[in-house]
Every structure is written in structure tokens, then in C-alpha cells.
């Protein structure tokens, strides 16, 4: 393919200096890349990120109600329903009636759910370890700390 002088920006590297100054832009790009990678990591377990996260929290907090779980995951109650439906249909968790409040369910993991959770967590951690191996221990701590504060501040802006 021949090139001509008047191609102007055609072959020069694209400058994204303005956007790279914005935390929101960098976070979106990193988040998209990491989420796509997590989809691949969790696919063998037939789990999505949100399904996996819900399972972990149920394993770690037996007896959780759905509203509590939705809040902990920072998603809407209504969007959690299909997630719980999926985990229950596969008999990884159970919706147990609460004697003290007949509106609510106490969520508990089955043995199969606990086992799958452990296996998936090992896979996710191994996968993350390869990515995070590029970062020093201090950088990892700064990353976790700054992300948490940014989330908090962004929510407070609302």
C-alpha cells in the first residue's frame, strides 16, 4: 500500500495525553481488560464475575440475606435475583427460610458450592498473581488503598 504526504495524521502515533491524565479513563481501560480476562478464567467453572463474587460472600458469610448481599456487592437487589437463581438451580447454594422473618431467605452454600468456590478462587488468584507479579508489594498496597478511596469519593459525589 502506497502512502502520500497529505495523509496527515494517518501514520503518526495517536496522542491520548489529555485522556491519560484522567483517572476515570485509565480505570475504565484497566477494568475492561481485567474483566475480560476474568471471564476467561472463570469460564471453566461456568461462573461469571458477579456469580463468583456472590458465591464467595455466601461461603464466607453463611446466613446472609439477599439485600445484604446486594449491598455488599454494590449491585441492585433486583439484579441479584437471577444470580442467586442460577447458583440455586445448580445446587451450589440454598435459599433457607428464616424463622424470624418470613419475607427473607438465609443464603447458605452447599458442600458442592464451597468446593467450587475454593477451586475458582485458586484459579483467580493464580491468574491475578501472573498479572500482579509486575507490581511491587508496595505498589499493590497503594493500588488497593487508592482504588478503595476513589470508589468512596466517587460515590459521595453523587
Note whether 95 binds DNA by CB under 7 A.
Answer: yes
**Cβ atoms of residues 117 and 109 within 8 Å:** yes
Shortest gap between Cβ of 119 and DNA (angstroms)? 19
Angle, helices 23-42 vs 137-157, to 10°: value is 110
Hunting for cell 428464616 — which residue is that? 98
- What residues between 67 and 86 interact with DNA by CB under 7 A? 67-68, 75-79, 81, 84-85
Note whether 90 binds DNA by CB under 7 A.
Answer: no
Toward its own copies, which CB reaches closer, 13 or 111?
Answer: 13
Shortest gap between Cβ of 61 and DNA (angstroms)? 13
Shortest gap between Cβ of 77 and its own copies (angstroms)? 14
Per-position DSSP letters for 45-98, written without gaps between them: GT--HHHHHHHHHHHHSTTB-HHHHHHHHTS-HHHHHHHHHHHHHTTSEEEEEE
Residue from 46, 71, 85, 91 touching its own copies (CB under 8 A): that is 71
Toward DNA, which CB reaches closer, 67 or 141?
Answer: 67
- What residues between 87 and 116 interact with its own copies by CB under 8 A? 98-100, 106
Helix, strand, coil percentages in the chain from 3-state DSSP, rounded to 5? 70, 10, 20
Amino acid at each position: 500500500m502506497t502512502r502520500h504526504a497529505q495523509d496527515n495524521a494517518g501514520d503518526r502515533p495517536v496522542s491520548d495525553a489529555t485522556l491519560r491524565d484522567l483517572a476515570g479513563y485509565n480505570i475504565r481501560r484497566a477494568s475492561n481488560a481485567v474483566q475480560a480476562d476474568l471471564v476467561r478464567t472463570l469460564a471453566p467453572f461456568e461462573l461469571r464475575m458477579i456469580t463468583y463474587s456472590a458465591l464467595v460472600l455466601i461461603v464466607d458469610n453463611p446466613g446472609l440475606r439477599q439485600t445484604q448481599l446486594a449491598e455488599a456487592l454494590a449491585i441492585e437487589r433486583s439484579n441479584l435475583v437471577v444470580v442467586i437463581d442460577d447458583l440455586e438451580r445448580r445446587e451450589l447454594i440454598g435459599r433457607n427460610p428464616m424463622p424470624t422473618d418470613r419475607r427473607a431467605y438465609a443464603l447458605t452454600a452447599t458442600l458442592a458450592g464451597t468446593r467450587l468456590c475454593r477451586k475458582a478462587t485458586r484459579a483467580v488468584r493464580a491468574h491475578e498473581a501472573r498479572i500482579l507479579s509486575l507490581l511491587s508489594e508496595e505498589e499493590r498496597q497503594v493500588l488497593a488503598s487508592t482504588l478503595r478511596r476513589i470508589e468512596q469519593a466517587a460515590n459521595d459525589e453523587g
